[in-house]
């Protein structure tokens, strides 16, 4: 058992056998409580396999209690005592389980692990769908394209908002396969709509930080271009302001490569992060998307109106297109249009909808 436990931990951890069947592990540094929960799961998995002693299979169960410093105790004695209490709760829960001493921490850890487990299965179970939200030309009201937005329909949880699972997918790396799936679905539709003459605009696809940093991004994109036969001129990639600004030198190279392939790139949620303007000027991007938080209270709120105008002026002088997000009222649309905003997207024009509904929407728009 000691050998197996040792295989789960790092050199910097301390593992001790206190006596009998009790072991103590001190993890001196960890990034998140989720990481601790993962380690606990790994240990349980490792110890659950039977041992063979003199030809007999011996099954051992594991109960694990976790106390965190400094929340659950300031010294070894109180930490051990609380870890012990948590361990008894794990035992009571039916063994081969772990418990945090702090009940709310425990609930969160369990929920997260559950969510992660169902997220892992979501692709193979075909639970994702890509919705499309129209983007229109403000001056004419005609469609210019759409943004692809993922939806997760889980049989137990119902419809889960991307705001609730994209961050977790990002943290666990699951965003890479999920994002690749979105890319290929959106490209497939874009190619079909162009071929059928339904839409020759751009379909915008969100790329998360992790996807953007993925070393195989270009290969994955090449693969998708080959299978879907989409024209990159019909695809726009959206990167948030914080992703674009986080690693300037590297970002420029990747963006140039994407640009060379024929993709356009838009900066999403613009205004919510920190932009270096001199750097922005050098970026091979085509559009800024004004974050919904600045659009929401237009035209009444003087501060938001000033911010929106500033972004529009900035974009104009850099030769970039502008897209306003979250336009819900005619007043917002009129104001933005007067101030020179090119494109808009929001419930006023159309909510995110299934590919099929978007096709009907396009048919009506063409009338």
Q: Which is nearer to ligand C2E, 150 or 287 (CB)?
A: 150
190 binds, among ligand C2E, Mg ion, none (CB under 5 to 8 A by kind): none
Q: Using CB under 5 A, which of the segments 30-38, 120-128, 134-142, 202-210 binds Mg ion?
A: 202-210
Q: Which is nearer to Mg ion, 102 or 238 (CB)?
A: 238
- The answer to the question of residue 251 lying near Mg ion (CB under 5 A) is no
Q: Which is nearer to ligand C2E, 102 or 147 (CB)?
A: 147
Q: What backbone torsions phi and psi does residue 48 show, to the nearest 5 degrees? A: -75, -25
Strand partners, 132: 148, 353
Applying the rule CB under 5 A, the residues between 136 and 155 that interact with Mg ion are none
Applying the rule CB under 5 A, the residues between 92 and 131 that interact with Mg ion are none
Minimum Å gap between C-beta 36 and ligand C2E is 27
Angle (CA) 314-315-321 rounded to 5° is 170
Q: Which is nearer to ligand C2E, 97 or 295 (CB)?
A: 295
- The residue ranges that bind ligand C2E (CB under 6 A) are 133, 149-150, 161-163, 166, 179, 182, 206, 208, 238, 268-269, 292, 325-328, 345-347, 352
Q: Using CB under 5 A, which of the segments 85-93, 102-110, 191-199, 325-333 binds Mg ion?
A: 325-333
325: left (phi over 0), alpha (psi -120 to 50) or beta: beta
Size of the site for Mg ion (CB under 5 A): 5
Q: Over the chain, what HEC string results? A: CHHHHHHHCCCCCEEEEEECCEEEEECCCCCCHHHHHHHHHHHHHHHHCCEEECCEEECCCCEEEECCCCCCCCCHHHHHHHHHHHHHHHHHCCCCEEEECCHHHHHHHHHHHHHHHHHHHHCCCCCEEEEEEEEEECCCCCEEEEEEEEEEEECCCEEECHHHHHHHHHHHCCHHHHHHHHHHHHHHHHHHHHHCCCCCCEEEEECCHHHHHCCCHHHHHHHHHHHHCCCHHHEEEEEEHHHHHHCHHHHHHHHHHHHHHCCEEEEEEECCCCCCHHHHHHCCCCEEEECHHHHCCCCCCHHHHHHHHHHHHHHHHHCCEEEECCCCCHHHHHHHHHCCCCEECCCCCCCCECHHHHHHHHHHHCC
| Packed helices 217-228 and 248-261: angle between N→C axes, nearest 10 degrees | 20
33 binds, among ligand C2E, Mg ion, none (CB under 5 to 8 A by kind): none
Q: Which is nearer to ligand C2E, 88 or 347 (CB)?
A: 347
Minimum Å gap between C-beta 225 and Mg ion is 21
- The answer to the question of residue 206 lying near Mg ion (CB under 5 A) is yes
Minimum Å gap between C-beta 140 and ligand C2E is 19
149 binds, among Mg ion, ligand C2E, none (CB under 5 to 8 A by kind): ligand C2E
88 binds, among ligand C2E, Mg ion, none (CB under 5 to 8 A by kind): none
Minimum Å gap between C-beta 136 and Mg ion is 16
102, 236, 238, 241: residue in contact with Mg ion (rule CB under 5 A): 238
Cβ-closest residue to ligand C2E?
Answer: 346
Q: Using CB under 5 A, which of the segments 101-109, 158-166, 260-268, 356-364 binds Mg ion?
A: 260-268
- The answer to the question of residue 268 lying near Mg ion (CB under 5 A) is yes
232 binds, among ligand C2E, Mg ion, none (CB under 5 to 8 A by kind): none
Instruction: Report the chain's terminal Cα–Cα distance, integer Å.
Output: 72
Minimum Å gap between C-beta 300 and ligand C2E is 17
Q: Which is nearer to ligand C2E, 96 or 154 (CB)?
A: 154
The encoded tokens of residue 31 equal 């990034």
The residue ranges that bind Mg ion (CB under 5 A) are 206, 238, 268-269, 325
């Amino acid at each position: 058992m000691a050998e197996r436990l040792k295989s789960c931990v790092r050199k910097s951890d301390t593992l001790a056998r206190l006596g009998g069947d009790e072991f103590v592990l001190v993890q001196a540094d960890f990034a998140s409580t989720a990481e601790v929960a993962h380690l606990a799961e790994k240990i349980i998995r490792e110890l659950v396999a039977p041992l063979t002693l003199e030809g007999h299979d011996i099954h051992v169960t594991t109960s694990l209690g976790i106390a965190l410093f400094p929340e659950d105790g300031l010294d070894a004695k109180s930490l051990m005592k609380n870890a012990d209490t948590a361990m008894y709760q794990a035992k009571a829960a039916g063994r081969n389980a772990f418990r945090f001493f702090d009940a709310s921490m425990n609930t969160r850890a369990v929920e997260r692990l559950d969510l992660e487990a169902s997220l892992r299965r979501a692709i193979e179970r075909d639970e994702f769908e890509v919705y499309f939200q129209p983007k229109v030309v403000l001056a004419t009201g005609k469609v210019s394209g759409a943004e692809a937005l993922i939806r997760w329909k889980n049989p137990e949880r119902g419809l889960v908002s991307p705001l609730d699972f994209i961050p977790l997918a990002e943290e666990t790396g699951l965003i890479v396969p999920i994002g690749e799936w979105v890319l290929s679905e959106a490209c497939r539709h874009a190619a079909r709509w162009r071929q059928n003459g339904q839409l020759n605009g751009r379909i915008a696809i969100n790329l998360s930080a992790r996807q953007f940093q993925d070393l195989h991004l270009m290969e994955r994109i090449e693969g998708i271009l080959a299978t879907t036969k989409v024209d990159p001129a019909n695809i726009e990639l959206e990167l948030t302001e914080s992703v674009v600004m986080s690693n300037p030198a590297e970002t420029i190279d990747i963006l140039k490569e994407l640009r060379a392939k024929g993709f356009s790139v838009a900066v999403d949620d613009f205004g919510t992060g920190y932009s270096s303007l001199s750097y922005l000027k050098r970026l091979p991007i085509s559009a800024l998307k004004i974050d919904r938080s600045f659009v929401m209270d237009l035209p009444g709120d003087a501060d938001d109106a000033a911010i929106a105008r500033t972004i529009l002026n900035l974009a104009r002088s850099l030769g970039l297109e502008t897209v306003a997000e979250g336009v819900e009222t005619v007043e917002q649309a009129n104001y933005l249009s007067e101030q020179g905003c090119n494109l808009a997207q929001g419930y006023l024009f159309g909510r995110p909808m299934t590919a099929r509904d978007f096709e009907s929407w396009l048919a009506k728009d063409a009338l």
